[in-house]
């Protein structure tokens, strides 16, 4: 039987081996460099408990499995942010296909779960590809249940013809809505206006839980992310008020763009402002020579699914299940 060793991940050395493993399960590839950059943004973990004993704070322990030749063949991470729902830990476990079936995944998950119990987590959450039946069965045999379903959609831009969909931009402008980019309205004051727009609209996403990050952390993980540029952030304005936004993020390897966020204030919905913002995003992507746009939507987010798939014509791709295990 093949031999392996489970150990804590060594940073940054192991990122080179971990990135290809993550690329086996993620829709868009990531590099070791990007993994390190993201990790460098996070201070050392600091967990604590609220007044009813629920896990709070943040941490990101990581484990790898090495085979008998010293090669990293599996990876696991358990993490929470300060704004993650109380008690919850989100995790990922991935095993190289050639190393599956010999107990690596079981041992790696056991280490992760043991740590979760030690820190008194009450809930474990993993997001698994809906087509990965083997991993889904692994999770369900350990007490996980499917809580939500996220759809993935792709728009091939080479063959896309928006036609009359672009009329939504003119229609919104005729009603008094103005469209700008963050590049046209730079500065912290406008970034804080955008932050408030995100903060109001984010809880309306089906399945959203937890609290909302404070301004500095929001900026770091949204408009300050690698691959996001101010000219790729389209904002809808009513007077001086920010009432809608679409943010695009580009992957440096595929050159594709991801709809990182779309939001419109509740009182402005139903006027096709979200469609207009989406079409502005399409124009930007095509002008940049992007091969395709990718997005995700919760299965219960009917209005956004209608815009993406029924109106614009995004192609359905296999999505993800949110798998949840209650520890207590």
Residue 1 confidence (pLDDT) above 80 = no
Q: Got the DSSP string for 54-69?
A: -EEEEB--EEEEEETT
Superfamily of domain 4-121: Gcn5-related N-acetyltransferase (GNAT) (3.40.630.30)
94 φ/ψ sector (left φ>0, alpha ψ -120 to 50, else beta): beta
- Copy the structure tokens of residue 190: 């406008």
For residues 235 and 182, give the distance between their C-alpha atoms in angstroms, rounded to a whole number.
Answer: 7
Cβ atoms within 10 A of the Cβ of 199, count? 15
Asked whether the beta carbons of 149 and 130 are under 8 A apart, the reply is yes
Q: What are phi and psi of 73, to 5 degrees?
A: -120, -5
Instruction: Say if CB 71 and CB 96 are below 8 A apart.
Output: no
User: What are the CA-CA distances from residue 218 to residues 45, 191, 212 (Å)?
Assistant: 18, 10, 8
Q: Buried b vs exposed e over 72-92: b needs ≥16 C-beta within 10 Å?
A: bbbbbbbbbbeebbbbbbbbb
Domain range summary for the chain, segments of one domain joined by +: 4-121, 153-320
Q: Is the pTM of this model over 0.85?
A: yes
State the residue for tokens 């499995």: 65
CATH class of the structural domain 153-320: alpha beta
pLDDT of residue 3: 87
93-133: pLDDT as tens digits: 999 999 999 999 999 999 999 999 999 999 999 999 999 99
> Helix axis angle, 32-40 relative to 15-22, nearest 10°?
110
227 close to 290: Cβ distance less than 8 angstroms: no
* pLDDT for 79: 98
Coil, strand or helix at 87: coil
> In Å, how far are 191, 214, 224, 252, 261 from 228, measured between CA atoms?
14, 19, 7, 11, 11
| Residue 142, CA distances (Å) to 93, 110, 134, 222, 223 in order | 14, 11, 13, 34, 37
325 beta partners: 124
What is the four-CA torsion angle of 145, 146, 147, 153, rounded to 10 degrees?
160
% of residues, the chain, pLDDT over 70: 99
For residues 31 and 273, what is the distance between their CA atoms, to the nearest angstrom? 35
Tens digit of pLDDT for each residue in 164-181?
999 999 999 999 999 999
**Helix, strand or coil, per DSSP, at residue 321:** strand
User: How many alpha carbons lie under 13 Å from residue 177 in its C-beta half-sphere?
Assistant: 25
* 323: helix, strand or coil: strand
Tokens of 123: 């809930």
State the pLDDT at residue 328: 79
Residue 318: pLDDT over 80? yes
Q: Does 4-121 match 153-320 in CATH topology? A: yes
pLDDT tens, residue by residue, 214-264: 999 999 999 999 999 999 999 999 999 999 999 999 999 999 999 999 999
Say how far apart CA 326 and CA 147 lie, in whole Å.
Answer: 11
DSSP code for 80:
B
């Amino acid at each position: 039987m093949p031999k392996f060793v489970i150990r804590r991940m060594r940073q940054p050395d192991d990122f080179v081996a971990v990135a290809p493993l993550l690329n086996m399960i993620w829709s868009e590839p990531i590099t070791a460099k990007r993994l390190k950059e993201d990790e460098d943004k996070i201070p050392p973990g600091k967990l604590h408990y609220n007044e009813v004993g629920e896990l709070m704070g943040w941490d990101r322990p990581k484990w790898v499995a090495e085979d008998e030749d010293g090669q990293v063949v599996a990876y696991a991470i358990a993490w929470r942010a300060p704004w993650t729902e109380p008690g919850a830990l989100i995790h990922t476990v991935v095993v190289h296909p050639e190393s599956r079936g010999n107990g690596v995944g079981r041992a790696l998950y056991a280490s992760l779960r043991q740590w979760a119990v030690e820190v008194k987590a009450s809930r474990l959450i993993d997001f698994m590809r809906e087509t990965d039946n083997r991993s889904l069965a692994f999770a369900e045999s350990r007490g996980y249940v499917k809580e939500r379903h996220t759809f993935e959609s792709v728009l091939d831009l080479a063959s896309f013809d928006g036609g009359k969909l672009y009329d939504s931009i003119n229609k919104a402008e005729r009603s008094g809505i103005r469209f700008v980019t963050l590049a046209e309205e730079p500065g912290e004051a406008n970034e804080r206006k955008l932050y408030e727009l995100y903060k109001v609209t984010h809880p309306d996403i089906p399945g959203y839980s937890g609290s909302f990050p404070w301004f500095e952390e929001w900026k770091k993980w949204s408009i300050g992310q690698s691959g996001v540029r101010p000219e790729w952030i389209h904002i809808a304005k009513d007077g001086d008020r920010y009432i809608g936004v679409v943010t695009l993020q580009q992957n440096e390897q595929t050159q594709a763009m991801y709809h990182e966020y779309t939001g419109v204030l509740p009182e402005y919905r139903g006027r096709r402002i979200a469609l207009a913002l989406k079409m502005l995003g399409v124009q930007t992507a095509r002008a940049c020579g992007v091969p395709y746009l990718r997005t995700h939507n919760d299965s219960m987010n009917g209005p956004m699914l209608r815009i993406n798939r029924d109106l614009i014509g995004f192609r359905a791709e296999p999505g993800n299940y949110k798998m949840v295990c209650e520890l207590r």
